[in-house]
Amino acid sequence: MKETTKMSRVISMIEKIYNSTNTDFWGGELPQVIITCQSKPGSCGHSSVSRVWRRKEDELFELNIAAEVLDFPIEETLDTVIHEQVHIFCRVHDIKETSRNGGYHNKKFKELAESHGLKCIYTGSQYGWSTTAKDNDRLLEYAIEKGYSELQIVRKSFTGIRIGATSQQVQQTASNPQGEKRPSSTRKLICPGGCGQTVRATKKVCIICGNCLVPMVEVEK
């Protein structure tokens, strides 16, 4: 797989993730959106409250992944995309899943998020229910199944803070106050025989390359 080090490729990758999760988690029910990667220190992303983009005869919602968190572990990118898909679903179906100008995520949000592959945590009276990729095996397995890997580009944060009301970053604040990148929960293995075959796994495993018939070797990502 080519490394995603160009913004055009990053947008294409996130569009692919949106389309595949729309199919696999939502049955293709969600509308098309415009994917953006804008700077948004303090949050993992957002989705617009209305169809703010016009394309010929179409009007579309925006789904933004914060430029400061692009290189987060791939399961966190999946969590953010599906988190925002919950909001888009609610806007399409006129469901009130938030209050306080969109900051507080209520039990309706929790129910929809958990029924579409996410894990929720209660973050208190300010933000309510948020989502977390930590220990979400379903997202890890989905990333491996689809061959999704971490994006290799990021905008440096001037604040050093990577937390927000809309994702698992609320939970990270206490343990990661300086905003360091969390290590990926997946392992990368490569065939030493020269065929170039690579695989990802969620735990330490012994895998034989089907091409070269030699044990694959874990490497740093």
What lies within 8 Å, CB to CB, of 38 at 6+ separation is 64, 66, 67
* Tens digits of residue pLDDT in 39-63: 987 889 999 999 999 998 899 999 9
Contact 197, 190 (CB under 8 A): yes
Ramachandran angles phi, psi of 177, nearest 5° = -65, -20
Band (207; pLDDT cuts 50, 70, 90): confident
Contact 9, 17 (CB under 8 A): no
From the number of C-beta atoms within 10 Å of its C-beta (0-12, 13-18, 19+), residue 205 rates as exposed
Percent of the chain with pLDDT over 90: 60
Band (202; pLDDT cuts 50, 70, 90): low
Query: What is the rounded CA–CA span in Å between residue 59 and residue 26?
Result: 21
* Tens digits of residue pLDDT in 10-24: 999 999 999 999 999
Total-model pTM: 0.75
* Tens digits of residue pLDDT in 69-114: 999 999 999 999 999 999 999 999 999 999 998 889 999 999 999 9
Q: What is the pLDDT of residue 70?
A: 93
Vertex 70 angle, CA 170 and 204, to 5°: 85
Q: What is the pLDDT of residue 160?
A: 43
Q: Which segment of 116-125, 145-154, 177-186 scores lowest on mean pLDDT? A: 177-186
